[in-house]
A and B are shown apart, each in its own frame.
Chain A
Amino acid sequence: MTTIDTNTEAAEMPERDPNAVSITINGRTVEAQKGDLIIAAADAADEFIPRFCYHPRMSPVGMCRQCLVEVEGPRGPMMVVSCMTPVAEGQIVRTDTPQVKRAQEGMIELLLANHPLDCPVCDKGGECPLQDQAFSHGAGESRFVEEKRHYEKPIAISELVFLDRERCILCDRCTRFADEVAGDPLISFTQRGNNTQVMTFPDEPFASYFSGNVVQICPVGALTAQPYRFKARPWDLEQRESTCTTCSVGCRTVVQSSRDELLRYQGVDSDPVNWGWLCDRGRFNFQSVNSEDRLESPQVKSGDSFETTSWSAALDTISRTIRHATPGSVAILGGARGTNEDAFMWAQLADAMGVTMRDAQLDDGLPASIFNYSQATIDAACKAATVILLAPDLKEELPVLHIRLRDAAEKKKIRIIEISACETGLTKHAWRSVRAESGTSVTAVQQLMADPVVAAQIASGSVVVVAGRANLAEGAEHTMAAVDAVIAAVPTASVLPALRRGNVRGALTLGLAPQNGNDAVSILEASANGHVECLILLGADPMNDVADADLARRGIAGARFVVAIDTFLTQSAAHADIVLPASAYGEKDGTTMNLEGRVTNVVQKITPRGTSRADWMIAAELGFLLGHDTDVTTLADVQKLMAKKVAGFGTTTTAVAVKRDGVVVSIPTPTRTAFAAPTIAARNSYEFRVDVSRKLYDRAVGTITSPALVNLAPGASVTIHPLDLERVGAAEGANVRVSNNHSSIVLPVRSNEKVPRGTAVVPFNQPGADIRELVRHGDSVVDVRIESM
């Protein structure tokens, strides 16, 4: 035994973390942090305590009492609820004594008293915490011989979620999620005592964009999702961890399938990104991959219809067309829906062919120079002193980013300053929310910055600007100039680009960004004027997505030859000369980049539909035919080439593939691109300025081909202030004529006092009359007249 010299020991000891707490769990010393709950400390130490209501991403409630443990107290061991008891220095916790076991068995018996034990017909059976813990921590028998509670089962509490109240153990997870996380407390405990039940308000469904999460976190089979009900047994599911590419937040998921069919996505907790949550659109659009309408083989236009052709014939025709085209007359639109590898290989091919007309966006985002500002991550935004929103309603476009910012604002970690034309999902969580009608956001920013209270807030710490295209009837230069106005005032501010489409940042970073300002609008304009001899649509559907419908039509019609590479015969693909079937999400491996530049992997879980191929394979094959062979045969080859050619990708593409949180690819030297504030013409007092914004559910191809989601789109309408409605002289819900000098459409009118006077809100890309007919890309803002009929 060595003698310890206490003096030197103390001198050498590193200073102890003042927040560190040392406790003993089952005789083992465990380090925890001040404020940690016993159950969390036990989890970290791999000591499992059974639980139903505790969820690490929600506040503890001590509802189910299953996590009872013994804590040594002054009067001997005491039973405490480990999800409500914080750790304390020297605390002695036992989770394995006979008393604890007896208490936990008792709780299981009580919870099962009213539970129907219909496991054989329950979707949750096989992955059910109640079932599992009844086996692991239950007595195996019940003394309850009386009649159990009976309820009608199951009842639909929304279009997507079913509730079986007999199975419910009242753990408060779903109701807590709805209130705390989603901010949609549309379900609540109702009644009392033995009749307590989770319920919606009569005739007011649980229509939350996040409703699928309650199904995932339900510890019993009480909540089931319509798209998965009775589709599979958990033990028949195979799964791989992946990243959702529905929008650019890049939530971590597991993709689950059975018999080569996608059946379910579940959220995975990635700390810097989604915390385990998913939006319903991302969760349930797996149905689209399974759709009957998927393209299965190459199609060639023959008269007014398509004929099936072979890949070799199709690619041969395309390569011949490109070879015979005038140099500089080939254009590529899209690429934001694929993987990094897809975008990279198409960019390589474009470089080799000398294609200068390329754009991964369809005039529905912001110029790629938004990446030239100092960049922020989601975490950085959630820790900033001030977050300035110059973005669309994040709840509608980037739902899980909305959840993260809402959480940070609710917990008073950040102060949100919002500049928007209308109220958004974050308005009630904002510290300041300023209404700036379309075309005035730069002025609004300047006015805000001049306010001494705002200036003091901004000076109090870091500033993150969340920047995105809020209004598709307003030129992107307005947002860019507003962002620039913030950066001019606060040079240390960083930017989180809120561009929406799945891999838009990856595609722009990997070479599909416009060259020399030749963006989608000018490409389509060139095409309309007959300067495009081959237009390649990489999962792009300009006829559906370009805000200027007339331009999209003219652009597609003007191209001499159109190649569409897509999963479905979209509106634009229907006008193509050749359509190539692309593999969808879940059918190909690769990497993707989220809005903060984080590279994570996406995985293949099922066989690609028909003869469909990944976009990168098509690019490689076409390159070979055109004499630009890249010598690439596998995905690993692509990633090797990518690592060689793209800065920042060296370490990420291969090593990252298996890592949950991915790696943020940083932009080496941030530079500022100054955008001048555009001047706008004054409008007549009888005119309305249009705000065209997206809703979560629209006519996007992944949504309309998912049966569970297709009916959730709210439909086209125009919403104005009630006093404006009076002035127009129309009744609520009546049809009105919306017109300007470009066109005229008929839409049902609604009123909402939250819409500012003089503003008309029209959702984008909804079933019904199309506002895009009134939008021209040259118009910096869009003004319309609204007349009753």
Chain B
Amino acid sequence: MARLTEENVRLAREIIGRYPKPRSATIPLLHLAQEQDGHITNDAMAHIGELVGATSAEVYGTASFYEMFKFEPVGKYLINICGTMSCALMGGEELMHHAESRLGIHMGGTTSDGLFTLEKAECQAACTEAPCLQVNYRYRYRVTSENFDTLIDQLQAGELNSEIPAHGTVASVRQHIPADRGVGAVAPEDVTEGPAWLDGKAAL
């Protein structure tokens, strides 16, 4: 089980520095941990607690609220197939059956090579493009069984690496705020002036 790496601790401290209160960085740091390990480990949660000054239980309480934080290892590609009404009417059910037989796992399972995890998802807000699915939260629309097979083949061959990074990667470009560009962290109760972006203009 993994705590945050040295490089990620450095990043974590930078992220914490963006907030007036260290605790506010809890969720960004959870993303960082998930990016590091593909899922969130107990050690990572304990480490985040140390970094932001919370107990492990508080970090766990926050993390477990969110569906997209995973606490068990998931595949490199997390495939969420929509099971809500429009998709179900347009063949979502059949797509799920096909996915299960193609990958040899049940919904919720992970292939033995650690490449794929299948999940049934609630509405993904792409009803006009039903049935739809997401691979690591990247959309695929009007998915037929053949489309699905092609997708799996491409993923296995690594052809989509540039488009679909491994599970946990929030973005391929990381936000970086140079020290001289930040407005600095000020606790809400200490704010006396208008927002910095107003640049001296009166608030509306």
Spell out A's residues near B (CB within 8 Å).
184-192, 199-204
Contacts and interface: CB of A to CB of B under 8 A. Distances in A.
Given A185-B54, A199-B61, 9 more contacts: A185-B58, A187-B57, A188-B58, A189-B61, A191-B64, A199-B60, A201-B46, A201-B56, A204-B56
A70 B66 CA distance: 36
A188 B42 contact: no
Given A201-B45, A201-B46, A190 B64 contact: yes
With most chain A CB atoms within 10 A of its CB, the pick from B45, B46, B54, B57 is B57
Contacts of B54: 185
B197 interface: no
Nearest to B71: A202
Nearest to B53: A428
Contacts of B67: 192
A759 B195 CA distance: 48
Contacts of B42: 201-203
A204 B60 CA distance: 11
Contact of B64 (A186, A192, A204): A192
B189 to A, nearest CB: 11
A204 B67 CA distance: 23
B57 A200 contact: yes
Interface string B54-82: 11111111001111000000000000000
Contacts of A191: 64-65
Interface of B: 42, 45-46, 54-61, 64-67
A185 B52 CA distance: 14
A578 to B, nearest CB: 52
Contacts of A204: 46, 56-57
B140 to A, nearest CB: 27
Contacts of A192: 64-67
With most chain B CB atoms within 10 A of its CB, the pick from A184, A189, A201, A203 is A201
Q: What 6 pairs across the A-B complex have the smallest Cβ distances? A: A188-B61, A201-B56, A190-B64, A201-B57, A188-B57, A192-B65
Nearest to A198: B61
Contacts of B64: 190-192
Interface of B is mostly: helix
A186 B61 contact: no
A63 to B, nearest CB: 15
A174 to B, nearest CB: 12
Nearest to B65: A192
B65 A186 contact: no
A200 B46 CA distance: 12
A190 B57 CA distance: 9
Contacts of A203: 42
A190 B60 contact: yes
A201 B65 contact: no
Nearest to A190: B64
B61 to A, nearest CB: 3
A190 B62 CA distance: 7
B191 to A, nearest CB: 18
8 contacts: A184-B55, A188-B61, A190-B64, A192-B65, A201-B42, A201-B55, A203-B42, A204-B46
With most chain B CB atoms within 10 A of its CB, the pick from A186, A188, A192, A203 is A188
A201 B64 CA distance: 11
B61 A190 contact: yes
Contacts of B55: 184-186, 188, 201
Nearest to A191: B64
A204 B59 CA distance: 13
Contacts of B56: 201, 204
Nearest to B55: A185
A203 B61 CA distance: 14
A187 B57 CA distance: 6
With most chain A CB atoms within 10 A of its CB, the pick from B42, B56, B66, B67 is B56
B64 to A, nearest CB: 4
Contacts of A200: 57
A573 B60 CA distance: 50
A199 B56 CA distance: 11
Contacts of B46: 201, 204
A10 to B, nearest CB: 42
Contacts of A199: 57, 60-61
A395 to B, nearest CB: 16
A202 B58 CA distance: 12
Nearest to B59: A201
Contact of A185 (B45, B57, B66): B57
A244 B157 CA distance: 71
A186 B59 CA distance: 10
Nearest to B64: A190
Contacts of B57: 185-188, 199-201, 204
B92 to A, nearest CB: 22
A161 to B, nearest CB: 14
A740 B158 CA distance: 67
Contacts of A201: 42, 45-46, 55-57, 59-60
A168 B46 CA distance: 26
Nearest to A200: B57
A61 B115 CA distance: 44
A201 B55 CA distance: 9
A772 B56 CA distance: 36
With most chain A CB atoms within 10 A of its CB, the pick from B45, B59, B60, B67 is B60
A200 B56 CA distance: 9
Contacts of B61: 188-190, 199
A203 B46 CA distance: 11
Nearest to A188: B61
Nearest to A204: B56
Nearest to A206: B57
A203 B60 CA distance: 12
A191 B55 CA distance: 17
A188 B45 CA distance: 14
A696 to B, nearest CB: 19
A199 B61 CA distance: 8
A63 B11 CA distance: 37
B114 to A, nearest CB: 23
A192 B59 CA distance: 14
B198 to A, nearest CB: 31
A204 B56 CA distance: 8
Contacts of B58: 185, 188
A526 B59 CA distance: 58
Contacts of A190: 60-61, 64-65
Contacts of B66: 192
A200 B67 CA distance: 19
B38 to A, nearest CB: 18
